[in-house]
Structure 1
């Protein structure tokens, strides 16, 4: 399968990804494929995964400044926790919500609203950084400010169309945008 077909669907979660890539399959077959996908993904969480330049520096600075950071992802929570652990990033975040943590996942605003509530924040003082339209849509639905990361899986055009408030081209830019 052409990888470009896959990249366009990353961010929505495994089941929607498989439904888009295998539209002719039955729900039962999608469920089987999802379980196999998660099994294989769990065994290879960070193969060929590297941090974007500047990530640790930015997270260090935000942590020193007392910023309350959370990860809200459509990945299953256990897999996301494993990635954070292997990449040595878990200590930066006060909260992790996965796609299986709540009844709704992004683009529904519920996960962002829950993170804001759990961290004692306010929507108008919350910034969501994401690399996909689902992130921008969830942020805006929760009343938060949405920063699109054009260095991720989606380009600037998709993030602009999704209504991101600002778009950055590298992670290090967050310091100048937020501080």
Structure 2
């Protein structure tokens, strides 16, 4: 799908099987993004009273419905999301987001998009849940072998690619790993 909005949005929109009913939302998405926020993944679905767009960004999960007469934006910062559930049917499914004592059900999400989105959200939450051990941090004991450093850097690259850590966390952890040489 060719939308020419912004490179990050265009890349995410290109992965949609169908953007039917959500082209207006894709065009309007930059208006609701925060400064420096990038779009990582998109999906379509029904939330509340209408069909719209689910956007997984670098900072939060957003549901956007942009109608002719009104606009609905619901956002879920990752720090407030406690868990995510995916329930898939034959073609469509429901993404359930539990955040700050709320339960948001986004229905009619295409099965393939929903499963990928739910998995990516879980990976993101696993890296940011307070009290959970943060993967790929420098161990208490210094790493003696160079191969260990390489594997730690590779793991760190995978975490960043999966969106489990931010670019800032990536740089900090990479510096710590390299400083341990």
TM-score above 0.5, yes or no: no
Shorter-chain TM-score range: under 0.3
Larger relative strand fraction: 2
TM-score norm. by structure 1 comes to 0.25
Report the structure number with the largest CA radius of gyration.
Answer: 2
